[in-house]
Amino acid sequence: MSTENTVVSATQLNIEKIRQDFPILHQEVNGRALVYLDNAATTQKPQVVINALTHYYQQDNANIHRGIHTLAERATAAFEETRQAIHQFINSNEPEEIVFTKGTTDGINLVAATFGRANVQEGDEIVISAMEHHSNIVPWQMLCEEKGANLKVIPVNNKGEVELEEYKKLLSERTKLVSVVYVSNSLGTINPVKEIIDLAHEYGAAVLIDGAQSTAYLDIDVQALNCDFYVFSGHKVFGPTGVGALYGKRRHLEKMPPYQGGGEMIRSVSFEKTTYNDIPYKFEAGTPNIADVVALKAAIEYINQIGKANMRAYEEELLAYAHQRLSEIPGIRMVGTAENKMNVISFVFDDIFHFDIGQMLDTRGIAVRTGHHCTEPLMNRLGVEGTVRASLAVYNTKEEIDQLTEGLHRIVTMMRK
C-alpha cells in the first residue's frame, strides 16, 4: 500500500485486497451477498483490528497504570501507544492533549460539563449550526438551560451548506463557544471549519469541532485548524465501538474541572481533600475501555497504510459514479447537494416512504440507513421527514452501486404499479 505522501490513482488501489481485510463483508444477508452502505453510522473492522482486540484479551489482559507486574506493564504500554498514535494522527501539540472517551458524544458532553459550566454564564451565547447531530445540540441546550445562556443557530441553505454571512452576524462579545460538525453525517457536506474557527476566535470564543465523520478521510491537523477542542469516535475510523478521543488545548484542559470522580483521576485522596491528577488522566476516571483503546491503534495504522489521500480519491470516484447512476431513477430527489461534500448520498422519493425503501433494500442484502439520522432539525429545515442515506467507504465498489441502483429501480417500479 502507498503512504500518505504518495497518492496513487483510485484505479490503482487494490480494492478486492482491501475487501479481503474485512471479514464481515463476506456473508449473505437474506440470501444475497451483503452490500454494506451504512458507513456513516459505523464502519466495518479490518481483521488487524479484530486481532488486536483478541490479542489483548488473550495475552495482555490487566489493569493499567497501577500494576508493576509484566501484564500490567504491557497493557499500559499498549494503551499509551494508542494515545501517541492519535496525537500523531491529528497532529496535537503533545500526547497529553488527548483524552480517551466513549466516543464523540461523550467528548462533547465532557466539554459541556467542564469547560461549558466553568465559562458560560447567564446571558452568554453558544453557537451551533442547523446541520448538527443531536449529540452536538442537546448538551448545549442542557447547558444553556442550566446557565440561562442563549443557543444560536447558523442557518443552512437549500443545498445543505452553512451560511457564513449569517454566522458572522451571530457572533458577539457574548459568544463563549462555537460547536460545529466538520462533515455532516446526513448530507456529507464539508463545512469551512477553518474560517468558522478564525471568525469565532476574533471574538474570544472557543471552538469545538465534531470530527465523527471527517477523521477517517480528511487530513486532520488540529494545530493548523487552531480549534480548541476536537472529538471523534473509534467506530467511524474502522476501529471498535465504545471508544473515542477528545483533543483539547493544554491551557483549556488544565483549567477544566474533572468530569467524573474515581480512580486514576486523583493524585491523592483524604476525607478532608482530594487533589487531582495531571492531564489527560484527570479526565479518565476508573478502569478505561482498555482493549478497545488498544485496538484503535490498529485501525489508525490501517488507515495510514492505505493513505487518506488514496481513500479520498477512490471515494470521490465512487460518489460521482453513485450520483450518476442514482440520478437515472425516475422521481429520485437528492437531499444535500453542497459543492463541497464527501461519501454520503441522501435521497427521497416523494411518493414512497423512506423507511419502506430501506426495508425492501434489506431484503436484497443492501444495508442503508433511513430516517432523520439524528439530525431532526436539519430534516425539518429541508422539508423532509427523513431520507434514505447511502454512505460509502474504501471497501465499497461500483458493482455495489449498480446493485443499489438496480434495487431502487425494482422497488420504484413495483410501488408505482
What are the tens digits of pLDDT across the range 206-257? 999 999 999 999 999 999 999 999 999 999 999 999 999 999 999 999 999 9
Q: Are 237 and 294 in the same domain?
A: yes
Which position has the higher pLDDT, 176 or 413? 176
Q: Are 37 and 63 in the same domain?
A: no
pLDDT for 11 equals 52
Q: What is the mean pLDDT of residues 195-212?
A: 98
pLDDT for 269 equals 82
Domain count across the chain: 2
Which position has the higher pLDDT, 4 or 414? 414
- Residue 227 known to be catalytic: no
**Containing structural domain, residue 334:** 10-44+307-415
What are the tens digits of pLDDT across the range 289-342? 999 999 999 999 999 999 999 999 999 999 999 999 999 999 999 999 999 999
What are the tens digits of pLDDT across the range 59-77? 999 999 988 999 999 999 9
CATH of the domain at 409: 3.90.1150.10
Q: Are 333 and 273 in the same domain?
A: no
* Residue that terminates a domain, selected from 269, 304, 339: 304
Specify the pTM: 0.95
pLDDT for 273 equals 87
- Cα separation, 312 vs 13, whole angstroms: 11
Q: Are 298 and 319 in the same domain?
A: no
**Residue among 374, 384, 412, 415 flagged as catalytic:** 374
Q: Are 266 and 314 in the same domain?
A: no
Question: Is residue 5 domain-resident?
Answer: no
pLDDT for 1 equals 33
Question: Is residue 159 domain-resident?
Answer: yes
Question: Is residue 1 domain-resident?
Answer: no
Question: Is residue 214 domain-resident?
Answer: yes
List, in sequence order, every residue forming a beta bridge with 127; answer none if it has no partner: 152, 178
- Residue 255 region by backbone torsions, left for phi larger than 0, else alpha for psi between -120 and 50, else beta: alpha
* Residue that terminates a domain, selected from 284, 304, 324: 304
Question: Is residue 297 domain-resident?
Answer: yes
Helix, strand, coil percentages in the chain from 3-state DSSP, rounded to 5:
45, 20, 40
* Residue that terminates a domain, selected from 251, 276, 304: 304
pLDDT for 2 equals 35
Question: Is residue 67 domain-resident?
Answer: yes
CA distance between the termini of the chain? 49
Q: Are 37 and 73 in the same domain?
A: no
Q: Max Cα separation, the chain?
A: 76
pLDDT for 266 equals 82
- Cα separation, 112 vs 90, whole angstroms: 22
pLDDT for 10 equals 52
pLDDT for 3 equals 39
Q: Are 122 and 242 in the same domain?
A: yes
Q: Are 296 and 403 in the same domain?
A: no
Q: Are 313 and 258 in the same domain?
A: no
- Cα separation, 94 vs 77, whole angstroms: 17
Question: Is residue 94 domain-resident?
Answer: yes
What are the tens digits of pLDDT across the range 114-151? 999 999 999 999 999 999 999 999 999 999 999 999 99
CATH of the domain at 219: 3.40.640.10
Alpha-carbon torsion 52, 58, 63, 65, what sign?
negative
- Cα separation, 72 vs 91, whole angstroms: 28
Q: Are 359 and 285 in the same domain?
A: no
Q: Are 62 and 211 in the same domain?
A: yes
- Cα separation, 117 vs 101, whole angstroms: 19
- Write down the mean pLDDT value for the chain: 95
Confidence grade of residue 4 (pLDDT, cut at 50, 70, 90): very low
Q: Are 218 and 81 in the same domain?
A: yes
Let me know if 272 is exposed, middle or buried by CB neighbors in 10 A (0-12, 13-18, 19+).
exposed
Question: Is residue 4 domain-resident?
Answer: no
